[in-house]
Structure 1
Amino acid sequence: MKDILRDIGIISRALDSISNIEFKELDLAKGQFVYLVRICENPGIIQEKLAEILKIDRTTTARAIKNLEKNGLITKKTDSNNQKNKLLFPTERGEAIYPFIIRENEHSNAVALQGLTEDEIDVLIGLLERVKDNVSHDWLRVKKDIKESIKKGNK
């Protein structure tokens, strides 16, 4: 079997490294830009949904949210329908940074897809979508198994 995950990992780490350098001056520590982008795109999202969209554990998500809030990029508001839920919103500063992040993302996409035809790009997008769906289903299964294992251990 081919080991595509190694190449995907290399691509991911290279892009993360570039982003960390590009966004450091914006008070965006390692990988936090993805949280800010999703909050800007989904104002009022709750932390659990954000973690699910990004496929990142809740503890890591909580830490990133805390840092984004500390740096004045997002704000939390209590949900009037459910006091437990904290709705996440970008601040003016967070919204001002968003277009820069999107431009950098578009640049990275252009670099990554350099030399590919439109047909090749369409095929790649379709295949990556299928790979993402496969991994997402496995992520949900593992997450569910862990929750069930914790419940059994607590009884």
Structure 2
Amino acid sequence: MKKSIGRLLSILHRQSQVYINYALKEYDITSAEYSFLLRLYVQDGITQDELSCYLCIDKAATARAIKSLECKGYVTRDKIDDDKRVNKVYLSDKAKQCKDEVIKKVWQWSDILTEDMNEETVEAVMTALEKMVDKVERRNFKKEKGK
């Protein structure tokens, strides 16, 4: 029987959500929100559209996550003077204060996944996953479906 990469990736994705929800519960940060914080820790003050593009998440889901993080006091939004439809997103002091702990807890998921794997195996898995991501990022599945 042929093994399904999609099934395995789906299981890992769902379990990562469970792990993140549990690991970041004390901060009231969910699996739907943490990736936005991680990106802002690297590049504070980017637009919601830039967050959507970088994370490959649709604009509506991005808006919901940013609104939730804003309500929880982790981010603030500012309109750009030139275009009032564009929001820049900034980390709050609250988000900056828990940065190291949030990053540590998120990275522990990778440690769990790679436990008992040697460096070559980890590198091979990373290379394969990067190739898969590159491949799907070059395709437009919405357009292809219309053909």
Give the TM bin, normalised by the shorter chain.
0.7 to 0.9
Q: Which amino acid aligns with 2:134?
A: D
Query: Which stretches of structure 1, 4 residues or more, deviate above 3 A after TM superposition?
Result: 80-84
The match for 1:105 is: 106
Give the TM-score of the pair, scaled to structure 1: 0.84
Structure 2 partner of 1:135: 136
Check whether the contact 1:39–1:45 (CA below 8 A) recurs between aligned residues. Answer: yes
- Give, in whole Å, the separation in 2 of the partners of 1:49 and 1:55: 10
Number of residue pairs matched by the alignment: 144
Partner Cα separation in structure 2 for residue 77 and residue 142 of structure 1: 33
The percent of aligned pairs where both chains have the same amino acid is 24
Q: Which amino acid aligns with 1:15?
A: S
**1:1-150 to 2 correspondences below 5 Å:** 2-138=3-139, 141-142=140-141, 145=143
Structure 2: give runs of 5+ residues left out of the alignment.
none
Deviation at 1:19, TM superposition (A): 0.8
Indicate the SS of the match to 1:43. Answer: coil
In the TM superposition, residue 2 of structure 1 has moved relative to its aligned partner by: 3.8
Please state whether the residue corresponding to 1:85 is helix, strand or coil. Answer: strand
Which TM-score applies when normalising by structure 2?
0.88
1:153 aligns to what?
A: none
Aligned alpha-carbon RMSD (Å): 1.9
Summarize deviations over 1:36-57 as a string: whole Å, max 9, x none.
1112211111111111111111
Amino acid at match of 1:45: I
Alpha-carbon contact 2:69-2:75 (below 8 Å) kept: yes
Question: Take 1:84 and 1:78, find their aligned partners in 2: how far apart are those partners?
Answer: 7
Q: How far 1:82 moved relative to its partner?
A: 4.0
| 1:25, distance to aligned residue in structure 2 (A) | 2.4
Structure 1 residue 27: Cα displacement: 2.1
The separation in 2 between residues aligned to 1:70 and 1:35, in whole angstroms, is 14
Higher relative helix content? 1
Give the 3-state SS of the residue equivalent to 1:128 in structure 2. Answer: helix
The 1-side partners of 2:129 and 2:108 are apart by 19
